[in-house]
Amino acid sequence: MKPFQLEGSVAVLTGGAGGIGAQLAIQLASRGVDLAVIDLDGGGLKNTQKEAERYGTKTTTYVADITNSEDITRIVSMIERDYGKVNILINNAGITTMGSFQETSKQQFDRVMAVNFSGPVALTRSLLPIMMRQSKGQIVNVSSILGCVGVANQTAYCASKFALRGLSDALRLELEGNDIGVSLVYPGGVRTNIANSATIATRSNWPDGDPRAQANKLLKLDPARAAKIIVSGVEKRKRRIVVGSDAKFLSSIQRLFPESHQSILATLTKRRDSSPPN
């Protein structure tokens, strides 16, 4: 596929009230992209809209729950009314819960799957017919490096992100010949609020206390830098966009050692944790 012409296009973006989503909105606006930004956080959406509108492009916000079918129907109708077209869909919204599979409640597990997977499926299903009427389009599904590598106490999150990977790979094949591409994004540890907003399934497996604090230590990459990498990948219509040195490392280990990567990573983690402080 030829590079995607960003200027003059319309992008629908979920999870745009903060983190990577807000930075994606700002960087796309700086490239001349009109935006339809979706989130549950109305206050955060207003901040994103203010920043994006500095670039003179149209930015409209929609407070909605992407797991609610009525909300999906409502906002898709509004987006079609407000813009008349959709060229880019970025399924970015995501949440997590921390704890073992056995102690994660069905409600917690299902909510993560709904936001991270079922929501993107529903929004893609609703917007794809509109995209098909355009000359070309790009669907961007933000997975995670944990959509490549499974880790303990993140079963719901890993399941949702692995599912998004399967959806993306299969949908890409189905859309060949329609000039609609599918990009799958694998961010590593990006400095967002996802850990702070996580639910905790149980504290029994966390000897060091609240795991959110431990998780935050791994979230180092600036969201603006992550968004820049993603926008560049979308423009190039890349199928696979790996974001961050940690994601690149983990992805390489998984691809080189598909059978033994988990034991290799466990050994490396033990060595790191046992190393004396600098």
Q: Which one, of 58, 73, 54, 63, lies nearest residue 16 by Cα? A: 63
Instruction: Write the burial class of residue 56 (CB in 10 Å: 0-12 exposed, 13-18 middle, 19+ buried).
Output: exposed
Question: In the annotation, is 157 catalytic?
Answer: yes
Place of tokens 């992008």: 11
Tokens representing 17 are: 């009230």
CB atoms near residue 71 (< 10 Å): 18
How remote is the C-alpha of 267 from its chain's centroid? 29
Q: Where are the alpha helices (DSSP H) in the chain?
A: 19-30, 42-52, 69-83, 106-113, 119-132, 155-174, 211-216, 223-235, 245-256, 261-274
Catalytic residue among 55, 62, 83, 157: 157
Q: Give the catalytic positions in this structure.
A: 157
